[in-house]
Amino acid sequence: MRLFSKRSLRVALSLSGVLGAGVLVMRPGPVPEVGGLPAVFAVPAELAEVRALGRGQTLGGVLSDAVDPREHHVLLMAFEEQATPRRMQIGTEITLRFRRADRWLRGVDVVLNADSTVRLTRDEAGWRSTVVQTPTWTDTIYAAGEIEDVLWNAVVQSDALDGMPIRDRAQLIHHLDQVFQWEIDFSRQIRRGDRYRFAFERQVRPDGSMRSGHLIAAELTNRGTQYQALWFEPSGDGQSGYFGPDGRSVQRVFLLRPLEFRRISSRFTNSRFHPILKTWRSHQGVDYAAASGTEVLATADGVVTHRGRLGALGNAVAIRHPNGFITRYGHMSRLKADVRTGTRVRQGDAIGYVGMTGLATGPHLHYELWRGGRPLDPLGVNLPPGDPVPTSDRARWEAESALRVALLDRGTDFRVRALTKGGDVVALASSGSQEGGEAR
């Protein structure tokens, strides 16, 4: 049973966020008929003017005609406690709030980014500033369908994701690709008639855009074979990850590739003609063609053992991983400043950017995987699987994974929306049965 449409629920939740209401209680039932009420008109006490910072304009300039010069200085000082006025970008939204009666400036809001706004308020003592966080709510969205051509189209055109911006849908596909990367190559293996189902938990801003999100359960049926990935967070300092219904990790110790957007331009081989050296040499890694500046990711947890020039590899990073593995990344234009010898990195951390330093004819990443002093073919070797669900977490896993599988089975009837403020859930609303749902 759907009690509320997605949109009306969203409006209700964002309203309760604005009003700072407590728990939102919504009861179904017949709407009482009370007849028409006369409309009430009241002139708001406040007059708000929204301006966008133009080219060549400064925040100080915009504020200068709203207050006298002495006040202007105090106002900018208060702002400077939160952000740098000279760093404001063109288009920055500035709201001037005046007392209607005498156009006395009582407040200024300056939007810093999608998640924060500097709020300047006036009192007897002068001007005070605070940063207001854009409220978000957490919801779980569910989508399922059959793939007609490519997964991209299936997800982008899904009715279940109505109201989700296209950029966020692209993010969703990226999450699916990350989770299933070791099992399915989305660009080559998807066939017409393949099916997908997933539940995705996200933090949503009032404008409907997503602050962050992660898959909590996903399933892909590729040519009759079913792949399931269930999100789980082991206790202790274990990282959250994805596991199959049997508790085995669906992830590997190494990412399949060190770049998001890539094309393999040269594979691992014991003999190839080198385009610069003009001789036959072995190629002890894989080359990925990518635009200069594309982020390069550490493929596994480890410790940085080298950063900087490394012969023909140019600007390079080497990382030592558990069990005798080493990875090397070459030809980078720039390295991340916080990646130094001895730095611990996590799988998926950005370590630098694609470039063409060293011996390279064009921008690409040269990637090597070594073990015991011998180079391995990163695309040919059977990468070791990630750790399964720890034995100590087994009971919790059984309970949580059952809920997540049920989420997949429950389908489109299921919706839980939780409004969070500063990380705390302040309101809950749901349609469908929500018993033991995913609101955490």
Instruction: Give SS3 for 395.
Output: helix
Question: Where does this chain touch Zn ion (CB under 5 A) — which range of 51-59, 119-127, 174-182, 366-374?
Answer: 366-374
- Nearer to Zn ion by Cβ, of 283 and 307: the residue is 283
* 202 lines the binding site for Zn ion (CB under 5 A): no
Residue 84, CA distances (Å) to 87, 96, 112, 113, 274 in order: 5, 18, 10, 13, 51
Longest Cα–Cα distance in the chain:
90
Q: What angle do CA 321, 325, 327 make, to 5 degrees?
A: 80
CA distance 183 to 186: 9
Question: Between 157 and 196, how does the x/- string for binding to Zn ion read (CB under 5 A)?
Answer: ----------------------------------------
What is the total count of residues that contact Zn ion (CB under 5 A)?
Answer: 2
Sole residue written with tokens 């006369």? 38
> Nearest approach, Cβ of 287 to Zn ion (angstroms)?
4
Question: Where does this chain touch Zn ion (CB under 5 A) — which range of 32-40, 45-53, 289-297, 364-372?
Answer: 364-372
> Nearest approach, Cβ of 359 to Zn ion (angstroms)?
9
Asked whether 287 and 369 are in contact (CB, 8 A), the reply is no
> Nearest approach, Cβ of 341 to Zn ion (angstroms)?
23
* 366 lines the binding site for Zn ion (CB under 5 A): yes
- Nearer to Zn ion by Cβ, of 104 and 280: the residue is 280
Question: Between 203 and 222, how does the x/- string for binding to Zn ion read (CB under 5 A)?
Answer: --------------------
Q: Which of 282, 342, 286 is nearest to 318 (CA)?
A: 342
> Nearest approach, Cβ of 286 to Zn ion (angstroms)?
7
Instruction: Give SS3 for 136.
Output: strand
- Report residue 173 as tokens: 């596909």
Residue 270: which region, alpha, beta or left (left: phi > 0; alpha: psi -120 to 50)? alpha
> Nearest approach, Cβ of 396 to Zn ion (angstroms)?
45
Phi and psi at 14, nearest 5°, equal -70, -30
> Nearest approach, Cβ of 264 to Zn ion (angstroms)?
11
Residue type at 196 in one-letter notation: Y
> Nearest approach, Cβ of 285 to Zn ion (angstroms)?
5
Binding to Zn ion (CB under 5 A): which residues in 244-303?
Answer: 287
- Nearer to Zn ion by Cβ, of 140 and 299: the residue is 299
- Nearer to Zn ion by Cβ, of 141 and 360: the residue is 360
Residue type at 134 in one-letter notation: T
- Nearer to Zn ion by Cβ, of 232 and 254: the residue is 254
For Zn ion, the binding residues (CB under 5 A) are 287, 366
